[in-house]
């Protein structure tokens, strides 16, 4: 269904002013560069906007758990409203961002943020899943999928993962997944998280078969912990782990008996984080990662206090059509 421009009202004067005419052309060009279609259920999705052709480009990526739970129950040290507003401002440095725990402060997160494409929040606790994607490139489609299995406090919200179809250039698309898996390491939580990852695997296999994909988010999982089965996840989907490639000499960490994870704020570029960035090439689109970084300074107060209870993880990568 095409968006139709309303018929303009008759001007009061005989001639349309230059400013009015220019505004009309801008509005017309904007509205005609997008169209929407409806499926049999009446669901609306954005079709491809008018974009320039490109054979290659660069992307700056970020995944960040922003600790957007209400102030009274948040484990972050800084005031949530002002901290998340500052987070939103700093996110402007990156082309494509996945955030998790964007619950009760989405208005602050978006207040000073300039990304032209941002997913719409589901709301705070207990209604929202806390997943938001912000992009400098058009987001053409969004789906949200709740986990079929959960544990403890994670069952109080519809946590899960989201899917976004993002357009990088004319006829260049990637599938982007935002993930927040079940937390904690008790037996029930570990079993639920393992089922989370299996559910995500099956969805990607069906939705994004043969597609170039990015999978970024808070997995609450480690290669070193055998019960998380991240090796299987990576192998079954043909994913590359940005940290493994750029910081661990391409070697997947082995299982460690009685593994104990570091606190999320203690990780560095030289150790595995639960906040991960995976990618997969396609026969048409190839990625080449160049820099992996824990963005500690960028997301801290002037005194050095982190703005969240996680570290933000970034990666730079080039893309090129084959």
Digit-coded pLDDT (tens) for 88-111: 999 999 999 999 999 999 999 999
Structure tokens at 255: 């299982």
Q: Given this model, what pLDDT does residue 10 score?
A: 34
The 10s digit of each residue's pLDDT in 154-176 is 999 999 999 999 999 999 999 99
> Percent of the chain at pLDDT above 70?
85
Angle (CA) 198 203 205, round 5°: 95
| pLDDT at residue 32 is higher than 50 | no
Confidence of residue 49 (pLDDT cuts 50, 70, 90): confident
* 291 DSSP β-pair partners: 316
Mean pLDDT of the region 56-66: 98
Nearest in space to 243 (alpha carbons), one of 212, 218, 268, 207: 268
Question: Which overall architecture, per CATH, does domain 56-321 show?
Answer: 4-Layer Sandwich (3.60)
* Contact of 98 with 178, CB cutoff 8 Å: yes
Q: How far is CA 317 from the centre of its chain?
A: 16
Confidence grade of residue 45 (pLDDT, cut at 50, 70, 90): low
The pTM of the full predicted model, rounded to 2 decimals, is 0.86
């Amino acid at each position: 269904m095409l968006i139709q421009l309303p018929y303009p009202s008759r001007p009061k004067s005989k001639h349309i002013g230059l400013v009015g005419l220019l505004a009309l052309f801008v509005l017309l060009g904007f509205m005609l560069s997008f169209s929407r279609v409806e499926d049999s259920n009446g669901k609306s999705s954005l079709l491809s906007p008018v974009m320039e052709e490109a054979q290659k480009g660069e992307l700056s990526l970020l995944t960040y758990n922003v600790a957007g739970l209400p102030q009274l129950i948040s484990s972050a040290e800084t005031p949530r409203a002002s901290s998340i507003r500052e987070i939103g401002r700093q996110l402007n440095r990156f082309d494509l961002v996945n955030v998790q725990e964007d619950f009760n402060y989405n208005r602050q997160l978006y207040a000073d943020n300039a990304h032209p494409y941002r997913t719409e929040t589901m709301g705070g606790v207990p209604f929202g899943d806390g997943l938001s994607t912000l992009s400098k490139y058009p987001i053409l489609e969004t789906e949200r999928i709740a986990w079929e299995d959960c544990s403890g406090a994670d069952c109080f919200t519809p946590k899960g993962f989201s899917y976004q179809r993002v357009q990088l250039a004319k006829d260049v698309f990637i599938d982007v997944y935002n993930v927040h898996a079940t937390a904690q390491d008790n037996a029930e939580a570990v079993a639920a998280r393992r089922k989370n990852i299996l559910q995500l695997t099956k969805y990607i296999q069906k939705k994004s078969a043969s597609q170039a994909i990015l999978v970024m988010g808070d997995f609450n999982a480690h290669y070193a912990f055998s019960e998380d089965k991240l090796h299987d996840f990576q192998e079954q989907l043909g994913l590359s782990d940005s940290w493994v490639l750029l910081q661990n000499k391409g070697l997947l960490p082995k299982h460690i008996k009685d593994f104990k994870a570091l606190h999320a704020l203690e990780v560095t570029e030289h150790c595995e984080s639960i906040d991960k960035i995976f990618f997969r090439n396609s026969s048409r689109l190839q990625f080449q990662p160049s820099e992996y970084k824990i963005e500690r300074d960028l997301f801290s107060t002037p005194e050095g206090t982190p703005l969240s209870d996680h570290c933000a993880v970034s990666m730079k990568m080039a893309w090129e059509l084959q």
